[in-house]
């Protein structure tokens, strides 16, 4: 079987669809010089390869590419396109070496590998070194010597995991599965209503199994946790499919292989439609209890109630499949995990709390990719539980003309659950009309507007995320009757005043400085008398060091208002750059009803925590006045 062939129909089809909005199947077939039936089969495989990030729709023989997630799609597309580069890329050479070693009947000489790839021995040795590092976490190794030959050493199941998660596109892009087997698979997909997310992983796993069985590589042993899958209802689906395979191909599918095929089903990405397979999924009450424990832990640590509403069942399924994936060693890449972490900082912090609960309860390690999926759920929960009670009334003052004012208004409308009432003004010397009552004013004019109404200043070329953060901060400040300082739009900054700004004693520990700050705020009347004791008790239960730079001790107070204090460890000659550098103390009123205020405040704190450069600059600050000047000049920190 010539897997590394010079023909890459997948790339040619995908390029045709990217270059034209709609492509006719006959024209694609004519261009590539294959039958339309071949194109239809290739498109089905492409849909599986793209794993739900994109899909090629088919309407009356017209194909159209629809991209749901640009980052994830581009990652997979680039891998497909790389196949046209043959051995010009290290990734392709590493895949080729692995492919040869995994099927080799005898030790493979380095010189033979170099000659086949038309590269030098030094390059081949470099690729081998990288490959060894890549396969090590799968408990695989390449053993032997250059002059006697190399062999791949490791468990068959781990070989398949490596194939699935690292080099599937390079090796199996043009795998000749055959029309009959494809029909069996697509029939199964239709019977159980599996979408691209649910079916893609199974399809890939199936292709790998067929290839390995054809080359006489069987799974010879499995651990007890895998063997228990024989009693799982999913096994019935696989057993039925295996009979069809044996009848069609004559290839025997032993019990261990059936168990292997259960893995992508018990660990699939949660399908959009669960009804087709829900009768084969057994979710115990423990899964729901685990989620309730996670939500309670988030409430304890952050003081925020996460309301999941109708998404509770979806979240239960997601956690169920995720635990299965982690338990059985199935890894799914999350191409946008870093984007989620940056965009939804608080949601990612909640995912970290969920990770701790899951790891302790289930005795498994939650990967960064899985944390990204968890954070996406928490991000949706936080957005959907924030409801407006009435439309806000906003004045947009824009001296540069109507079009900029309209652009700002369109962004503003996307922020609110209920569309705000917007009025436009284009006077550079704007004064609030006596008969108008605005919730706040957004202006591109630099001159100060004389009014008690909160004013948000923005550039004509504005950052929509920054504008959103400013609007939400001002909205919450207004609700808490906290005055908004001109040039300072963040909730965090407006909640700190000179009375609650501290330069910390570098000779004291984090806990000692925390007590000094807390006691001072108690003495000044911002917090109740027993606040410090509650803070210490919470610290005993679980440290409130937020990350390597910031401690965020917080607990409830009987006072009626949120109270925030900031302490800074100054740089000293003896400081080694390690340990807590900022202490942020928060008192949360027991009577607080609106958690969305806390959500925005946490976002501001995380905006600082995620910027080590900002933390270091804050350590150079000597006074509260310097703090305000720094943040007014660096107005893009809070997003």
Question: Which tens digits make up the pLDDT trace of 478-517?
Answer: 666 666 666 566 778 888 889 999 999 988 999 999 999 9
Residue 552: give the domain boundaries.
494-633
Give the CATH number for residue 624. Answer: 3.40.930.10
Give the CATH number for residue 126. Answer: 1.10.10.10
- Residue 75 buriedness (CB in 10 A; 0-12 / 13-18 / 19+): middle
pLDDT reading at 359 higher than 50: yes
Count of domains forming the chain: 4
The verdict on residue 54 lying in a domain is no
Report pLDDT digits (tens) over 587-629.
988 887 777 778 878 888 888 888 888 999 999 999 998 988 8
Do 502 and 442 have their domain in common? no
| Rounded-to-integer distance, Cα 517 and Cα 583, Å | 9
Do 507 and 607 have their domain in common? yes
Mean pLDDT of 27-32: 80
Do 373 and 439 have their domain in common? no
Do 506 and 397 have their domain in common? no
Strand ranges across the sheet with 421-425: 421-425, 393-397, 440-443, 455-457
295 neighbors 308 (Cβ within 8 angstroms)? yes
Q: Look at residues 107, 137, 171 and tell me which one is the last residue of a structural domain.
A: 171
Mean pLDDT of 321-335: 91
pLDDT of residue 420: 85
What is the number of H-type helices and E-type strands within the chain? Answer: 27, 14
The verdict on residue 625 lying in a domain is yes
Do 549 and 570 have their domain in common? yes
* Token pair of 320 as six digits: 């169920």
The verdict on residue 201 lying in a domain is no
Do 506 and 582 have their domain in common? yes
The verdict on residue 139 lying in a domain is yes
Do 357 and 321 have their domain in common? yes
Do 118 and 157 have their domain in common? yes
Mean pLDDT of 159-183: 88
Q: What is the DSSP letter of 165?
A: I
Q: Output the CA torsion sign for 318, 311, 589, 583.
A: positive
pLDDT reading at 305 higher than 50: yes
pLDDT reading at 222 higher than 90: yes
Report pLDDT digits (tens) over 53-83.
888 888 777 888 888 888 888 888 887 776 5
Do 517 and 596 have their domain in common? yes
pLDDT of residue 3: 47
């Amino acid at each position: 079987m010539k897997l590394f062939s010079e023909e890459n129909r997948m790339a040619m089809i995908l390029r045709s669809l990217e270059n034209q909005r709609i492509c006719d199947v006959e024209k694609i077939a004519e261009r590539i010089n294959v039958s339309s039936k071949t194109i239809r089969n290739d498109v089905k495989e492409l849909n599986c390869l793209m794993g739900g990030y994109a899909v090629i729709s088919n309407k009356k023989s017209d194909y159209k590419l629809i991209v749901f997630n640009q980052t994830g799609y581009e990652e997979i597309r680039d891998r497909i396109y790389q196949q046209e580069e043959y051995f010009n890329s290290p990734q392709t050479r590493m895949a080729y070496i692995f492919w040869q070693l995994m099927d080799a009947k005898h030790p493979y000489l380095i010189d033979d590998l170099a000659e086949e790839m038309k590269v030098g021995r030094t390059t081949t040795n470099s690729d081998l070194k990288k490959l060894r590092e890549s396969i090590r976490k799968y408990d695989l190794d390449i053993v032997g010597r250059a002059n006697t030959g190399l062999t791949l050493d490791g468990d068959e199941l781990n070989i398949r995991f490596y194939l699935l998660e690292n080099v599937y596109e390079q090796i199996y892009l043009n795998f000749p599965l055959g029309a009959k087997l494809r029909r069996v698979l697509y029939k199964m997909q239709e019977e159980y209503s599996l979408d691209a997310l649910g079916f893609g992983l199974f399809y890939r796993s199936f292709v790998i199994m067929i290839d390995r069985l054809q080359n006489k590589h069987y799974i010879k042993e499995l651990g007890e946790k895998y063997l228990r899958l024989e009693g799982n209802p999913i096994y019935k689906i696989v057993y039925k499919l295996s009979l069809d395979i044996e009848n069609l191909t004559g290839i025997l599918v032993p019990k261990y292989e059936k168990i292997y095929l259960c893995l992508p089903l018990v660990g699939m990405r949660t399908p959009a439609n669960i009804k087709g397979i829900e009768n084969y999924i057994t979710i115990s009450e423990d899964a729901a209890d685990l989620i309730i424990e996670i939500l309670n832990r988030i409430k304890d640590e952050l003081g925020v109630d996460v309301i999941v509403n109708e998404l509770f069942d979806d979240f239960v399924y997601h956690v169920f499949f995720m635990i299965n994936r982690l338990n059985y060693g199935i890894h799914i890449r999350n191409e946008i995990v870093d984007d989620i972490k940056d965009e939804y900082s608080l949601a990612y912090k909640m995912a970290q709390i969920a990770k701790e609960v899951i790891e302790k309860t289930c005795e498994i390690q939650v990967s960064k990719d899985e944390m990204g999926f968890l954070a996406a759920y928490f991000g949706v929960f936080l957005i959907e539980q924030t409801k407006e009670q009435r439309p806000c009334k906003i004045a947009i003052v824009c001296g540069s003309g109507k079009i900029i004012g309209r652009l700002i208004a369109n962004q503003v409308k996307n922020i609110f659950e209920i569309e705000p009432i917007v009025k436009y003004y284009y006077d550079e010397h704007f004064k609030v009309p006596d008969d108008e009552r605005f919730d706040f004013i957004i202006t591109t004019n630099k001159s100060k507007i004389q009014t008690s109404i909160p004013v948000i200043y923005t550039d004509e070329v504005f950052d929509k995320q920054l504008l959103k953060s400013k609007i939400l901060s001002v909205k919450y400040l207004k609700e808490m009757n906290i005055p908004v300082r001109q040039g300072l739009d963040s909730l965090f900054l407006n909640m700190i005043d000179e009375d609650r700004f501290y330069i910390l004693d570098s000779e004291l520990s984090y806990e000692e400085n925390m007590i000094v700050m807390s006691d001072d705020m108690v003495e000044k009347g911002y917090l109740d008398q027993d606040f410090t004791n509650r803070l210490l008790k919470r610290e005993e239960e679980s440290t409130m060091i937020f990350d390597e730079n910031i401690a965020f001790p917080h607990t409830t107070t009987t006072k009626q208002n949120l109270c925030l204090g900031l302490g800074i460890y100054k740089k000293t000659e003896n400081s080694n750059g390690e340990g807590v550098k900022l202490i942020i103390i928060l008192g949360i009123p027991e009577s607080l009803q609106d958690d969305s205020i806390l959500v925005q405040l946490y976002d501001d704190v995380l905006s600082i925590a995620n910027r080590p450069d900002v933390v270091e600059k804050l350590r150079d600050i000597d006074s509260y006045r310097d703090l305000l000047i720094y943040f007014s000049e660096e107005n893009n920190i809070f997003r």
